[in-house]
Amino acid sequence: MTNKKGPGPAFPAGANKPKDFKKTLFRLLGYLKPQRNMLIIIAVMAFMGTLFSVISPKLLGEATSSIFDSFMKGTSVDFAFLGKLLIWLLVLYTVSALFTFLQQYLMAGVSQRTIATMRKEVNEKLTRLPLRYFDKHPYGDLLSRAVNDIDNINNSLQQALIQIITSVITIIGIIVMMLFISPLLTLVVCVTIPLSAIVIRFVATRSQKYFISQQATLGQVNGHIEEIYGGHQIVKAYGYEEKALDTFDEINERLYETNWRAQFMSGLMMPMMMFIGNIGYVLVSIAGGILVLNGNIRIGDVQAFIQYSQQLNQPMVQAASIANMIQAALASAERVFAVLDEEEEASELPALVDPNQLHGSISFQNVSFGYDPENPIIRNLNLEVQEGQTIAIVGPTGAGKTTMINLLMRFYEINGGRLKLGGADFQDMSREQVRSRFAMVIQDTWLFNGTIRDNIAYGKEGATEEEVVQAARRAYADDFIRTLPDGYDTVLTEDASNISQGQRQLLTIARAITSDPLILILDEATSSVDTRTEMNIQKAMNEMMQGRTSFVIAHRLSTIKDADLILVMNQGEIIEQGTHMELLRQKGFYADLHNSQFSEGQDEAV
């Protein structure tokens, strides 16, 4: 299926402005609630790993003080003491590395389960959205939200969560150790913490809008590529390559600008944080040297303090990196949540009516409909169709033929009047109950990537092998299927390009036969196939229509001469109706259409 829409703006004007990021953040964190027990275990492991790592500078300081004291007193170095410290350091580093490995392993599972839940919600949401939503949004942008944005959240979540937990515990552990060694030097180091917080807030608030714009523009790029690739034959046929490239270059340039601005603004954070960290390092060195000279602190403790100040700077720098990832994740989360928050088709409960017991009559009673309720396309449509009748619908483009079919399938709800199936009101049945009694064979054949057997069985849940083969025979598809190397096990490629257009159409007819519908909707699809295949398709359609109510959207009048009733539509209204001969005798709109097709011996599409 091809996307007939232009790429268009994925977001309305002003979408690059910051929105309620706190709400988005808390909503994103809400997906972690089912994993809270595992997160507690990860936090404990992070605490243990950090505890062992923050103790090591103190032990190294003790080693330095021991050597310094031996030098100042002129005594021999206490190698036994240093040996014990070395063993303790090796143990601490090993245990710390082990806990770090375990927390990374567990966090990978947490993030993947969380993202799997989000993917499931998005996929289920897309199945519940009304058709009008897909009419208004480019497929490429929807794919970008369902794939690229969720992947972005996944990457950010896995890295950011573990860094947040580790950084918070590391900062707390280091501050506790520094307070234990020297409250005065701790105060000197803490002067830089507010500066770091200010920098993070300053850069984050200014770069966030560029991350949002970046994701929106990426959706536009995907939409354009999907559209041009899907219709590449038409693009080449009309020499549209240069224009398509120009459009791509324009969107790609916007993507480059937003990416550059986002990365530049977020990239300012790292050097600024390093600058602040170096300021703290200098302050500790000066203050520590003065305290050592005054005898208020041991030199090894100053060394430990310098090491702690560097360790404290590391999680602060990590916080800057985390802020970048969180901004990108929130920008993607907003786009995903926008899909999840879209209005769904109203949920329905199956009615007490058994659709299998209904007969195939259709009744339109003063039906009115418009995609925009203020501008109705169909006005006060009245029509009574008896069971088993074949109803042909003809008319110029935009007459309302497809809209009428959309209403029959309940892809859209009528704005006024009543629509009945077998005497039962559509509104008294669920959409699934209504659609279970219909089958569609349309021009745009849709077959999924799978075996021919699976595609035919798609029409009926639990279809048996016998039912599949019987349906293929009735659709005149069995012969060509058996000539394929793998027969019914032949795997159809993307867009079923490994079989012909006519063969694809025969398979869709076989699928419709498998569903054993009460009512058929047929959109003639024989204009692009050879004469022999056209005859097979026509025979298959005629056989399938036997005893069933059928609606045929007619493009060539030669194919509907035997219809029980022909509806001539124009501007959403039935302007003529009757049999083929009755309409010719009226010498009206239908007669003019007929004469225009056959006046020169032609049989063209209306």
- List, for residues 236-246, the tens digit of each pLDDT value: 665 667 777 88
* 551-568 mean pLDDT: 83
Confidence of residue 469 (pLDDT cuts 50, 70, 90): very high
pLDDT band at 6 (very low <50, low <70, confident <90, very high): very low
pLDDT at 519 over 60: yes
Question: For the chain, how many structural domains are there in total?
Answer: 1
CB atoms near residue 248 (< 10 Å): 15
Q: With DSSP H G I counted as helix, E B as strand and the rest as coil, what are the percentages for the chain, rounded to 5?
A: 65, 10, 25
Q: For residue range 302-356, what is the model confidence (pLDDT) as tens digits?
A: 777 777 777 776 776 676 667 767 777 888 888 888 888 888 777 666 667 777 7
- Cα(403)–Cα(389) distance, integer angstroms: 20
Q: For residues 332 and 359, give the distance between their C-alpha atoms in angstroms, rounded to a whole number.
A: 49
Within a domain: 162? yes
Task: Report the chain's C-alpha Rg in angstroms.
Answer: 36
For the chain, what is the largest distance between any 2 Cα atoms, rounded to a whole number of angstroms? 127
Q: What is the DSSP string of 44-84?
A: HHHHHHHHHHHHHHHHHHHHHHHHHHHHHHTPPP-HHHHHH
What average pLDDT does range 491-498 have in this prediction?
A: 77
HSE (CB half, 13 Å, CA atoms) of 384? 1
> Is residue 590 pLDDT above 60, yes or no?
yes
Residue 513 lies inside a defined structural domain of this protein: no
Residue 467 has pLDDT above 80, yes or no: yes
In a domain, residue 61? The reply is yes
Q: Is the pLDDT of residue 459 over 80?
A: yes
Q: What is the pLDDT of residue 2?
A: 38
Please give the residue that has the higher pLDDT: either 365 or 218. 365
For 225, 467, 486, the CA distances from 232, given in Å and listed in that order, are 10, 38, 30
| Phi, psi dihedrals of residue 386, rounded to the nearest 5° | -85, 155
Mean local confidence (pLDDT), 53-67: 77
What pLDDT shows up at residue 235?
A: 67
Q: Output the pTM of the full model.
A: 0.62
Concatenated DSSP letters of 130-156: -HHHHHHS-HHHHHIIIIIIHHHHHHH
Q: Amino acid identity, residue 265?
A: M
Q: Which of 157-161, 204-208, 230-234 has the highest mean pLDDT?
A: 157-161
Residue type, 493: T
In a domain, residue 146? The reply is: yes
Examine the pLDDT at 26 and tell me if it is beyond 80: yes
Q: Which of 118-127, 323-332, 510-519 has the lowest mean pLDDT?
A: 323-332
Tell me how far CA of residue 49 lies from CA of 62, 164, 165, 179, 551, in angstroms: 21, 14, 11, 20, 71
Question: How many other C-beta atoms can be found within 10 angstroms of the C-beta atom of residue 529?
Answer: 19
Residue 406 lies in a domain: no
Q: Is residue 15 part of a domain?
A: no
pLDDT above 80: residue 209: no
Residue 558 CA to residue 555 CA, distance in Å, equals 9
Extract the tokens encoding 604.
């063209």
In terms of C-beta density within 10 A (0-12 exposed, 13-18 middle, 19 or more buried), how is residue 18 classed?
Answer: middle
Q: Report, as an integer, the average pLDDT of 463-484.
A: 89
In a domain, 81, yes or no: yes
For residue 267, is pLDDT > 70?
A: yes
User: Residue range 370-374: average pLDDT?
Assistant: 79
Query: Is the confidence at residue 380, as pLDDT, over 80?
Result: yes
Question: Quick check: 31 pLDDT over 50?
Answer: yes
Name which of 207-216, 527-536, 572-581, 587-596 the model is least confident about: 527-536
Q: Over range 91-99, report the average pLDDT.
A: 85
**Does residue 528 surpass a pLDDT of 50?**
yes
| Sequence-distant (≥ 6) Cβ neighbours of residue 88 within 8 angstroms | 59
Q: Is the pLDDT of residue 218 over 80?
A: no
What's the N-to-C CA distance of the chain in angstroms?
Answer: 22
Mean pLDDT for the stretch of residues 84-101: 85
* Higher pLDDT pick, 474 / 211: 474
Mean pLDDT of the chain: 79
The answer as to whether 149 is a domain residue is yes
Which domain covers residue 176, as residue numbers?
A: 21-340
Q: What is the pLDDT of residue 19?
A: 59
Res. 83: pLDDT tops 80: yes
Domain holding 139: CATH number?
1.20.1560.10
User: Is pLDDT at 7 greater than 60 in this prediction?
Assistant: no
Q: How far apart are CA 565 and CA 587, in angstroms?
A: 17
Q: Which of 216-220, 226-230, 282-286 has the lowest mean pLDDT?
A: 226-230
| pLDDT score recorded for residue 3 | 40
The pLDDT, as a whole number, for residue 343 is 83
Q: How confident is the model at residue 232 (pLDDT cuts 50, 70, 90)?
A: low
